[in-house]
A = this chain, B = another copy of it.
Amino acid sequence: MDVQGLLDDIRESLTPIIGQGEVADYIPGLAGVHQAHFGMAVVMPDGEAYGTGDWEQPFSIQSISKLFTLAIAYAHDGDQLWQRVSREPSGDPFNSLMQLELHDGIPRNPFINSGAIVVADRLLSLGAGGTDVLAFLREESGNPGIELNPAVAASEAEHGHRNAAIANLLASYGNLENGVPEVLEEYFRQCSIEASCRDLATAGGFLTRGGIRADGSRMLTSSEAKRINAIMLTCGTYDAAGEFAYRVGLPAKSGVGGGILAVVPGRCTVCVWSPGLDARGNSLVGTTALDEFTTRTGWSIF
Q: Report the Cα distance A91→B112, complex, angstroms.
A: 13
Q: Report the Cα distance A251→B249, complex, angstroms.
A: 12
Residues of A in contact, count (CB < 8 Å): 49
Q: Report the Cα distance A168→B160, complex, angstroms.
A: 9
Partner of A265, one of B171, B251, B302: B302
Within the complex, the shortest CB–CB distance from A136 to chain B, in Å, comes to: 21
Residue A101 is within 8 A (CB to CB) of chain B in the complex: yes
Within the complex, the shortest CB–CB distance from A282 to chain B, in Å, comes to: 13
Residue A143 is within 8 A (CB to CB) of chain B in the complex: no
Q: Given A97-B101, A223-B295, A301-B301: A242 and B168 within 8 A (CB)?
A: no
Residues of B within 8 A of A89 (CB): 88-89, 91, 234, 241-242
Q: Which residue of B lies closest to A245 (CB)?
A: B230
Within the complex, the shortest CB–CB distance from A278 to chain B, in Å, comes to: 14
Q: Given A97-B97, A97-B101, A242-B87: A249 and B234 within 8 A (CB)?
A: no
Q: Report the Cα distance A58→B171, complex, angstroms.
A: 32
Q: Report the Cα distance A242→B86, complex, angstroms.
A: 9
A130-145 contact mask (Cβ, 8 Å, vs B): 1 or 0: 0000000000000000
Residue A18 is within 8 A (CB to CB) of chain B in the complex: no
Within 8 A of B (CB), among A143-183: 161-162, 164-169, 171-172, 180
Residue A76 is within 8 A (CB to CB) of chain B in the complex: no
Partner of A230, one of B97, B98, B302: B302
Within 8 A of B (CB), among A76-128: 86-92, 96-99, 101-102, 108-109
Residue A268 is within 8 A (CB to CB) of chain B in the complex: no
Determine if B91 and A88 form an interchain contact, defined as CB atoms under 8 angstroms apart: yes
Determine if B91 and A101 form an interchain contact, defined as CB atoms under 8 angstroms apart: no
Residue A239 is within 8 A (CB to CB) of chain B in the complex: yes
Residue A200 is within 8 A (CB to CB) of chain B in the complex: no
Q: Given A98-B98, A164-B180, A302-B251: A242 and B234 within 8 A (CB)?
A: yes
Q: Given A97-B98, A161-B172, A245-B234: A90 and B87 within 8 A (CB)?
A: no
Q: Which residues of A contact B (CB under 8 A)?
A: 86-92, 96-99, 101-102, 108-109, 161-162, 164-169, 171-172, 180, 223, 226-227, 229-231, 233-235, 239-243, 245-246, 249, 251, 265, 295, 300-302
Q: A87-B246, A231-B246 are in contact. List 16 more A-B contacts (CB 8 A).
A: A88-B91, A88-B240, A89-B91, A90-B91, A91-B108, A97-B98, A98-B98, A165-B165, A227-B249, A229-B302, A230-B242, A230-B249, A231-B245, A233-B245, A251-B302, A265-B301
